[in-house]
Amino acid sequence: MLKIKDNVDLKELEKYNIKKGYSMFSMDNIYGYIDDSNKIFITTRPWWSMDYYYLYADGENTLYDLIQADLVENVSDE
């Protein structure tokens, strides 16, 4: 499972089209979300929360960009 590194300010992720909060109007564009422990979940049916950060539009490329920028780490599923 991928996780945003602890030293990354989540607001910095907005330049990767990851935004905080949930909008019913953009539901079709949501690819995944980042939970409160910074784990990244890929889904087309995200948990609704104004506190989570959501991956919009082209999520696969977004994940690739995050990995290339060294902003994520691999953690166990436990």
Local structure of 35: helix, strand or coil: coil
pLDDT tens-digit map of 19-65: 888 666 566 677 788 888 999 888 777 667 788 888 876 656 888 88
Cross-strand bridge partners of residue 56: 30
CB-CB contact of 52 with 34 (8 Å): yes
**Residue 69 token pair:** 């920028």
- Is the torsion defined by CA of 68, 34, 11, 72 positive or negative? negative
Number of domains in the chain: 1
Q: Give the C-alpha separation, 24 to 67, whole Å.
A: 28
Query: Which residue reads 């959501």 in tokens?
Result: 54
* pLDDT for the residue numbered 32: 84
Domain holding 10, by residue range, is 2-74
